[in-house]
Amino acid sequence: MSTIYKLVDSKSLVMCEECLDEHGPVAGKWEEAPLEECSICGAQDQDTRDEYENWTNEANQMAYYDDDPYGDPYGIQF
C-alpha cells in the first residue's frame, strides 16, 4: 500500500511515498490525499479506496431503507 501525498501549492502534483523518496525532497507543503493517484508511477492507495467504496455502499443501503415507500406506520413525518 502506498501513501499518496499532494503538493498544496500545485493543482496537479501528486506523489506516492516511494516516488517522493526516490526523487528527493520537494519543497512545499504536502498533505495526504489517499483518493488521488501518483502523477509519476500511477500508484493508488487501494486500501483507502476499498474502505471508501464500502462506506458509500453502506450509506446507499441505509438511504434505501430510510426511503420507505409506505411511510412511517405511525404517521410521523421527519
The predicted pLDDT at position 10 comes to 86
pTM for the full predicted model? 0.65
At residue 13, does pLDDT exceed 70?
yes
Confidence of residue 2 (pLDDT cuts 50, 70, 90): confident
Alpha carbon dihedral 18, 39, 41, 1, in 10-degree steps, equals 50
At residue 41, does pLDDT exceed 90?
yes
The predicted pLDDT at position 66 comes to 60
Compute the C-alpha angle 72/73/75, nearest 5°.
65
The predicted pLDDT at position 38 comes to 93
Tell me the mean pLDDT in the region 4-14: 90
